[in-house]
Amino acid sequence: IYSDMLQIMMFTLVPAGVITYLPVELIRAFSYEKLIYLILISALFVLLAFVFFGLGLRRYESGNQFSIKT
């Protein structure tokens, strides 16, 4: 669905930046502003995960369905 470059950015750059940069910066120079950014971005990732999972469930078709015809 997405181009290769967009997939690379979505699965590597953005999460890696949040996972590595923000917590390290928070430890090195604590500020409530950075803590709030970390919490908000983490909540955004969780929200997006729920949304995409829900959209995927709507489109899901099991290959394990069978019917018995009489």
For 20, the token pair is 């590595």
Per-residue pLDDT of the chain (70 residues; tens, 9 = 90+): 667 877 777 667 777 766 777 778 788 889 898 888 888 888 988 898 899 888 888 777 666 666 666 6
pLDDT at 21: 73
The predicted pLDDT at position 32 comes to 92
Give dist(CA 53, CA 1) in Å, integer.
16
Q: What is the pTM of this model?
A: 0.55
pLDDT at 67: 61
Q: In the numeric block, which tokens belong to residue 11? A: 């699965």
Looking at residue 61, what is its pLDDT?
65
